[in-house]
Amino acid sequence: MPQASETSALARLSRVNLVRYLPQLIILALLGLAWSLYGALTGGSFLLPRPDEVVEVLGADFAKIFESIGASGLLLGLSSLIALVLGVLMGMLCGQFERLKGAVLPIARVLAPIPSLIYAPYAVAIVGDFFWAAVFVIASGLFWPVLFNTVNAIEDISDELINSARTLNLPTRTMFAWVMLPHCLPYLFNTLSVQVSNAFLLLVGAEMMGMRSGVGWYVKYWADYSNFTTVFAGIVVIAVIVFVVNILLEKFRDRVLSWK
Amino acid sequence: MAADEAITTPRSTGSARADEAITTPRPTGSARAGSTAVFSDRPAKIRVKGVALSYRNNTSSTAVLSDLSFDVAEGEFVSLIGASGCGKSTTLSLLAGLRMPDSGEVHIDGVPVTGTGKDRSVVFQHYALFPWMRARRNVEFGIRQVSDAPKREIAAKAAYYLKRVGLEGKEALYPHQLSGGMQQRVAIARALAMETEILLMDEPFGAVDAKTRVVLQDLLLELLQEQERKRTVVFVTHDIDEALLLSDRVLFMNAQRISKVIEVPFEHPKKRHEIAQTLVYRELRKEIFDMFYEDEGEYLASGI
């Protein structure tokens, strides 16, 4: 009996997901159809290959693509984590100390719009290691939006809730970990989902500086050889990764913010 | 507490204002009209003396409290009642330690209040629960701040109090899944479970519907009655019936201070229907009602 209900729950879940993603799936299918049609009619061209050619590359170069996905994942994951931790910490401190906020925010507003890829040569010169220079470039690009949104979140916290927390005599650490941080989480998830595309732009840029694998490097490398079939394969891979990252982020958010 | 024992006696205090305050004529007949009752004759758990407070911004300053004095005996239930803006919530925030007076003294057990403390728990009108914690966690979180008991004990105590406020089976819900009345039940459970000596309540039933309010008032009475050690309670409200039902004494606030002290002579356990039938109740109710309007002349003007 429990098994039966489990199955039905699973069926319900997949039905919900299917309905939820149906419009996206239809658009993808139409794009695929148009591409296939183009391939069948023209036989493909130098700049825009046929889908079967791309699929062939994906199969043939599987090992290198797989390695690149891993390398990019590590780079992006580490950079995002560093940006999140530093941004949230700094944001909370700014939220707590008006003076610090007054000192930091005007400077931050000037620094934030500067594309962090500009720092790349300096980062390489200072850090001396391509991987960590890339981490620095991506993390510093993501740091600002995290900082601004955390400051914003702390400003939004209601006096009633703060007073309630104060009457419980919370130690500072508990106040940060169990009141401030959870309050900021919805803001942070919003920031992350907006910044996913920004993160991939930064990733591709950062991987051009001396890396030897990674999805951004892969596309750039084969574009330099004008091998557009392989470039296309790389673009498909990036598209799939972005799609999956977005879905995972959404799932993770729904799980963490179940109290909303 | 028998009604006659509750008669307050004049006390010589440093506060001139205190002497000006007038008690209600005793409805029981043993009246001592004109006696001072801002300070009770029992040892004070809470004492507020000559407190003044203004809200300031860059351009102006608004006096909220001036020469506010009263005390609350151990185990006493005192209501602060008055029109909105009379400073009753501000007074409670002073007792909670969320705000400091410009001048004057706020003492608890003879010690000046310098901030929030583990001897006090507070129930607010709303937005006091943490939205990211389930009902159970909200209560446990409160207990943990005042107790070093092992996890299992804290969990058991939280479960007990949630059950007592009628939320059995709802422990795992988040605040947004609970109605306003149920959220207040959780807040009350948390405050009681912390087992602090002093309970401060700032219009805790002000935002719930009339029917729920009656249920919650009765629940609060029942829960306070069954406590081993009687809590000292300061309760802010603008509801006359609520004040009369719950309190041992009602302090009427007007013009930034206590303008009148009313002894409530009903014996515990109070029964809403029984006391509402009595003449005393109706007289007290009318007296407070009139006080709400006498200053402004609103009563006559509005033609109620």
Q: What is the DSSP string of A66-92?
A: HHHHHHHHHHHHHHHHHHHHHHHHHHH
Number of domains in chain B: 1
Q: Do A169 and B121 touch (CB under 8 A)?
A: no
Evaluate if residue A246 carries a pLDDT over 50. Answer: yes
Cis peptide before B204 (omega within 30 of 0): no
Q: Give B40 or A63, the one with higher predicted confidence.
A: A63
pLDDT digit string, tens, across residues B54-63: 988 888 888 8
Task: Give the structural domain span for A129.
Answer: 68-211+236-260
Place B18 in a pLDDT band, splitting at 50, 70 and 90: very low
What number is the average pLDDT over the span B87-114?
93
DSSP bridge partners of B123: B201
Among residues B52, B14, B60, the alpha carbon closest in space to that of B36 is found at B14
- Look up residue B46 and give its amino acid: I
Q: Which residues contact B275 (CB under 8 A, 6 or more apart)?
A: B244, B245, B266, B281
With beta carbons less than 8 A apart as the criterion, state whether A94 and A87 touch: no
- Chain B residue nearest residue A158, CA to CA: B127
Among A57-66, B29-38, B267-276, whose mean pLDDT is lowest?
B29-38
- Chain A residue nearest residue B133, CA to CA: A259
B236 to chain A nearest CA, in Å? 16
- Look up residue B221 and give its amino acid: L
pLDDT digit string, tens, across residues B193-226: 999 999 999 999 988 888 888 988 999 998 888 8
Evaluate if residue B291 carries a pLDDT over 80. Answer: yes
Pick the most confident of A2-6, A93-97, B129-133. B129-133
Going from the C-alpha of B119 to that of each of B111, B199, B233, the distances in angstroms are 12, 9, 12
- Chain A residue nearest residue B199, CA to CA: A167
In a domain, A98, yes or no: yes
In a domain, A219, yes or no: no
B6 to chain A nearest CA, in Å? 31
Structure tokens that stand for A15 in this block: 């039905």
The reported pLDDT for the residue numbered A73 is 94
In a domain, B168, yes or no: no
CATH number, domain with residue B220:
3.40.50.300
In a domain, B22, yes or no: no
Residues of A in contact with B127 (CB under 8 A): 158, 160-161, 164
Q: If you ran DSSP here, which 8-state letter would residue A157 be given?
A: S
Q: How many CB pairs under 8 A join A and B?
A: 59
Place B298 in a pLDDT band, splitting at 50, 70 and 90: low
Beta strands B77-81 and B44-56, pairing class: unpaired
**Three-state DSSP state, A208:** coil
Q: Which of A157, A158, A164, A167 to mutate to test the interface with B (most CBs of B within 10 A)?
A: A167
What number is the average pLDDT over the span A159-166?
92
Measured CA to CA, the distance from residue B37 to residue B70 in angstroms comes to: 8
Q: If you ran DSSP here, which 8-state letter would residue B267 be given?
A: P
What number is the average pLDDT over the span B123-145?
94
With beta carbons less than 8 A apart as the criterion, state whether A142 and A79 touch: yes
Q: Give B21 or B250, the one with higher predicted confidence.
A: B250
Residues of B in contact with A158 (CB under 8 A): 127
Structure tokens that stand for B201 in this block: 């309540």
Q: Do A160 and B120 touch (CB under 8 A)?
A: no
Q: Which of B92, B121, B124, B130 to mutate to test the interface with A (most CBs of A within 10 A)?
A: B130
Structure tokens that stand for A29 in this block: 């299918």
Structure tokens that stand for B270 in this block: 């109070």
What number is the average pLDDT over the span A70-97?
94
With beta carbons less than 8 A apart as the criterion, state whether B225 and B266 touch: no
Q: Cα-flanking dihedrals φ and ψ of residue B57, to 5°?
A: -130, -165
Evaluate if residue B33 carries a pLDDT over 70. Answer: no
The reported pLDDT for the residue numbered B265 is 85
Going from the C-alpha of A240 to that of each of A123, A216, A250, B64, B118, the distances in angstroms are 30, 13, 15, 62, 54
User: For chain A, what percent of residues have pLDDT higher than 90?
Assistant: 70
User: For chain A, what percent of residues have pLDDT higher than 70?
Assistant: 93
- Mean pLDDT (chain B) is 83
Q: Cα-flanking dihedrals φ and ψ of residue B200, to 5°?
A: -110, 125
Q: Which of B132, B141, B188 to mutate to test the interface with A (most CBs of A within 10 A)?
A: B132
Among A5-9, A103-107, B97-101, B170-174, whose mean pLDDT is lowest?
A5-9
Q: Do B142 and A168 touch (CB under 8 A)?
A: yes
Evaluate if residue B119 carries a pLDDT over 70. Answer: yes
Cis peptide before A51 (omega within 30 of 0): no
Q: If you ran DSSP here, which 8-state letter would residue B269 be given?
A: S
Count of CB atoms within 10 A of residue B77's CB? 25
CATH number, domain with residue A77:
1.10.3720.10
Helices (H), A43-61: 51-60
What number is the average pLDDT over the span B125-130?
88
Evaluate if residue B31 carries a pLDDT over 60. Answer: no
In a domain, B265, yes or no: yes
Greatest distance between any 2 Cα atoms in chain B: 61
Residues of B in contact with A165 (CB under 8 A): 130
Going from the C-alpha of B122 to that of each of A18, A155, B59, the distances in angstroms are 48, 24, 32
DSSP bridge partners of B81: B237, B252
Count of CB atoms within 10 A of residue B85's CB? 11
Number of domains in chain A: 1
Chain A residues with at least one Cβ partner in B under 8 Å: 158, 160-161, 163-170, 174, 178-179, 182-183, 185, 258-260
In a domain, B271, yes or no: yes
Residues of B in contact with A163 (CB under 8 A): 93, 96, 98, 122, 124
Task: Give the structural domain span for B85.
Answer: 74-99+113-119+197-302
Among residues A221, A225, A223, A226, the alpha carbon closest in space to that of A211 is found at A221
Q: Do A164 and B176 touch (CB under 8 A)?
A: no
Which of A167, A170, A185 shows the shortest C-beta gap to B98?
Answer: A167
Task: For residue A194, count CB atoms less than 10 angstroms from its CB and return exposed for 0-12, middle for 13-18, buried for 19 or more.
Answer: exposed
The reported pLDDT for the residue numbered A13 is 59
Q: How remote is the C-alpha of B9 from its chain's centroid? A: 22
Residues of A in contact with B96 (CB under 8 A): 163, 167
- Chain B residue nearest residue A186, CA to CA: B132
In a domain, B65, yes or no: no
In a domain, A100, yes or no: yes
pLDDT digit string, tens, across residues A109-137: 999 999 998 988 899 999 888 999 999 99
The reported pLDDT for the residue numbered B297 is 56
The reported pLDDT for the residue numbered B35 is 37
Among residues A166, A191, A189, the alpha carbon closest in space to that of A179 is found at A166
pLDDT digit string, tens, across residues A191-220: 999 999 899 999 988 998 878 889 999 999
The reported pLDDT for the residue numbered A20 is 76
Q: What is the DSSP string of B205-241?
A: TTTS-HHHHHHHHHHHHHHHHH-SSPPEEEEEES-HH
